[in-house]
Amino acid sequence: MLDDYEMHDLTQPWSGDTPAWPTYDNPKVWYEKSLDTEKVNGQKIEFMNHTGTHLDGEKHFVASGRDIESMPLEELVGDAVVADISDR
């Protein structure tokens, strides 16, 4: 079935400025290690799972529902129209 579709990735860019769900904290990104002290830069990223582009399984709202891993991709695709409005 999926071979019959042209796929379009609708994922939005993610950064420390990506807004979270209103009741969650916004993402935090900070350096945990730095070249000055550790000879390597290392960052930590902290965010809630409802930040940025994502898909919830049924289990998010219904206790007996399926988690996202149990939902076949074929149930999540369908016909659509792509409209280029980038010049507006």
> What pLDDT score was predicted for residue 59?
95
Task: Compute the distance between CA of residue 69 and CA of residue 62 in angstroms, rounded to an integer.
Answer: 15
Are β-strands 42-46 and 28-33 bridged in parallel, bridged antiparallel, or unpaired? antiparallel
- Give per-residue pLDDT as tens, 36-81: 999 999 999 999 988 999 889 999 999 999 999 999 988 988 888 8
Contacts of residue 11, defined as CB under 8 A and 6 or more positions apart, other chains included, come to 53
Q: How many other β-carbons are positioned within 10 Å of the β-carbon of residue 76?
A: 9
| The model scores a pTM over 0.85 | no
Task: Compute the distance between CA of residue 71 and CA of residue 57 in angstroms, rounded to an integer.
Answer: 7
Task: Compute the distance between CA of residue 16 and CA of residue 54 in angstroms, rounded to an integer.
Answer: 16
What is the mean predicted confidence (pLDDT) over 6-26?
A: 89
Give the residue extent of every domain in the chain.
19-76
